[in-house]
């Protein structure tokens, strides 16, 4: 971008030595060919500047004023002053664009998904002859969207919905039964207990709480059950594969 504008500014400046003295002592002028070239370069510069600084920015407006300044303007050919001023305005725009880039904030860290995309891919690959995982996959997708947009209450509601949705895969009716009765590996049991206790209780509170005189909203930490949910989804996938 700035390289292109710099080249345009140099091309505009290169027109200054091409001015000829009018035979009638009426001043300096550019031939029709070079005057047309100047107009074309000025329009190209304006378009480039507008792309970065937006329409009606100061540099573009002053560029047009410079081109149209003097007695002739676009219609009879530019003046030497107009050409010189136009080249400097383009160079000023280059400096402004460079300053704007230097002030641009550093990119923020990529927000991690609440549900790993690899887990969602595993769910999509499961056989559908016994269980249709379409709703579970969509719950996971929407959970990622809610989490990425800091919709903390929605995040807790969707986690709760997943807990309600998966028990039949384990041959049970409720997640309370899953957490307390299903024979998980010993190391996995605490994750299930935390989901049943803290995750469900938090979601129930936000889901059923009537309006109060003073209110507080959940933070990201209050809905941070991604590791435990990943353990649960891993077990859903394992059990579903065993049932093939």
Strand pairing of 20-21 and 28-29? Answer: antiparallel
- Tell whether 162 is covered by a domain: yes
Note the pLDDT of residue 226: 96
Is residue 180 in some structural domain?
Answer: yes
Residue 109 within a domain: no
Q: Report how far Cα 196 is from the mean position of its chain's Cα atoms.
A: 35
What is residue 74's predicted lDDT score, i.e. its pLDDT? 45
> What does the pLDDT read at residue 100?
84
CA-to-CA separations, 219 to 8, 59, 201, in angstroms, rounded: 52, 45, 15
Neighbours of 113 (CB within 10 A): 18
Same domain, 91 and 179: no
Residue 61, pLDDT > 90, answer no
Question: Is 233 contained in some domain?
Answer: yes
Weakest mean pLDDT among 13-22, 80-89, 163-172 = 13-22
Domain count, the chain: 2
Q: What is the largest CA-CA distance in the chain?
A: 105
**Tens digits of residue pLDDT in 192-240:** 999 999 999 999 888 888 999 998 888 999 999 999 999 999 999 999 9
Domain limits at 45? 2-103
Q: Are residues 219 and 172 in the same domain?
A: yes
Mean pLDDT across the chain: 87
Give the pLDDT of residue 132: 94
For residue 158, pLDDT over 60 is answered with yes
* Whether residue 125 sits in one domain with residue 98: no
| Cβ-Cβ contacts under 8 Å for 7 (sequence gap 6 or more) | none
Q: How far apart are CA 108 and CA 110, in angstroms?
A: 6
Please choose, from the candidates 152, 125, 113, the residue with its C-alpha nearest in 3D space to the C-alpha of residue 236.
Answer: 125
Q: Please, are residues 95 and 210 in contact by the beta-carbon 8 Å criterion?
A: no
Which pair of tokens denotes residue 159? 């986690």
Whether residues 128 and 197 share a domain: the answer is: yes
């Amino acid at each position: 971008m700035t390289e292109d504008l710099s080249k345009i500014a140099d091309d505009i400046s290169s027109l200054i030595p091409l001015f000829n003295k009018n035979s009638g002592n009426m001043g300096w002028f550019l031939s029709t060919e070079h005057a047309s070239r100047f107009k074309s370069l000025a329009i190209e510069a304006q378009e480039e500047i507008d792309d970065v600084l937006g329409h009606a920015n100061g540099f573009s407006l002053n560029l047009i004023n410079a081109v149209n300044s003097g007695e002739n303007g676009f219609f009879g050919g530019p003046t030497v002053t107009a050409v010189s001023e136009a080249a400097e305005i383009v160079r000023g725009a280059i400096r402004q664009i460079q300053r704007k880039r230097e002030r641009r904030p550093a990119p923020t860290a990529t927000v991690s998904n609440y549900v790993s995309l690899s887990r969602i891919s595993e769910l999509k690959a499961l056989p559908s002859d016994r269980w249709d995982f379409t709703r579970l996959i969509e719950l996971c997708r929407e959970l990622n969207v809610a989490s990425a947009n800091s919709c903390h209450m929605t995040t807790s509601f969707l986690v709760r919905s997943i807990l309600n949705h998966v028990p039949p895969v384990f041959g049970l009716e409720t997640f309370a039964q899953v957490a307390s009765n299903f024979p998980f590996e010993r190391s996995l049991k605490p994750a299930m207990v935390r989901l049943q206790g803290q995750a469900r209780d938090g979601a129930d509170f936000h889901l059923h709480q009537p309006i109060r005189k003073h209110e507080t909203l959940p933070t990201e930490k209050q809905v941070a059950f991604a590791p435990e949910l990943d353990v649960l989804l891993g077990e859903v996938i394992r059990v579903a594969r065993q049932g093939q």
